[in-house]
Amino acid sequence: MKDTFFEFALIGSTASGKSKIAHELALKHDLVILSLDSLCLYKEINIASAKPSKKELSEVRYFGIDLISIEQSFNVWLFFKEYERARSYARTHNKALLIAGGSSFYLRALMQGLSEHIKEVPCELSNKELYELVKSIDKKARIEKNDTYRLKKWYSIYKSKAEIPSEFLQKTLKEAPIRQLEIFLLDLDKEELLKNIALRTKKMLENGLLQEARELFLRYDENLKPLKSIGLKECKSFLDNEISKEQLESLINIHTAQLAKRQRTFNKKFTSTRLDKNAFESLDEYVEKRLKRKAF
């Protein structure tokens, strides 16, 4: 039997259409998909996460979907384990692995390696205060002033270890599981992306986003991190009569566009092949060539 395993990635801003392209590509070429979406991890969040439908999940083998409850904590180490599961499955079943989604922080971690996991230490400092603390103590740290995740991680290391955080991270860094990877970046122009965002928000509301949010806030603590995600936090404001229905839709669009801008900036850190709205054709050709190469 010929070995047809290889892996590649498709990243891009939220609402750029990468999930649809990835699914269609997987259907045509019998690929395995590892989702790079931080909300699709949660079993209870379906509409707000734009999770693949039950039909789509039955058509393609997905990993990174419905892993944990929103009451459970998730960290990058767990994602590393899910990547190993996906890779092992793809190899065993002689299929290619497509890593696709918007949370490309996980992909960067897979390619750079990860340091020892540190339990989060509660922090009441603002991002500005944390950033000033980092600058005064850790000259080698490279953290942006608005990078909440890394600032809090730095603080947890600072409080729990008797070492300078950047030195601790370097010392405990584990080898990256991915050394080389072909990465494709779906990069739509701003106007087209904003149009996609508006259409997706409208569709989510039509499909029952408010009802999903209402049930989640009735069952779970509203302070849980997943319930503060875009789509759900705006629904909470509406359900609390703080904003109107029109403001609800507008705020989801605005916050999603802001997220897309941050993702676009982060994705510049990757060496990638840029794709536009003809992305499926380009990727289809790429996969065809790789599979033919594997056949010899």
CA atoms within 13 A on the CB side of 156: 14
pLDDT at 296 (0 to 100): 52
- CA 65 – CA 42 distance, rounded (Å): 7
pLDDT 10s digits, 141-172: 989 888 887 898 899 999 998 889 999 888 88
Element (H, E) at 120: none
pLDDT at 295 (0 to 100): 56
Count of Cβ atoms closer than 10 Å to residue 156 Cβ = 17
pLDDT at 183 (0 to 100): 98
Spans of the chain below 50 pLDDT: none
Q: Collapsing DSSP states into helix, strand and coil, what is residue 140?
A: coil
Q: Collapsing DSSP states into helix, strand and coil, what is residue 78?
A: helix
Residues constituting the chain: 296
pLDDT at 114 (0 to 100): 77
- Residues 6 or more apart in contact with residue 21 via CB below 8 angstroms: 10, 186, 279, 280, 283
pLDDT at 74 (0 to 100): 85
Both tokens assigned to 136: 């005064």
Q: What is the pTM of this model?
A: 0.86
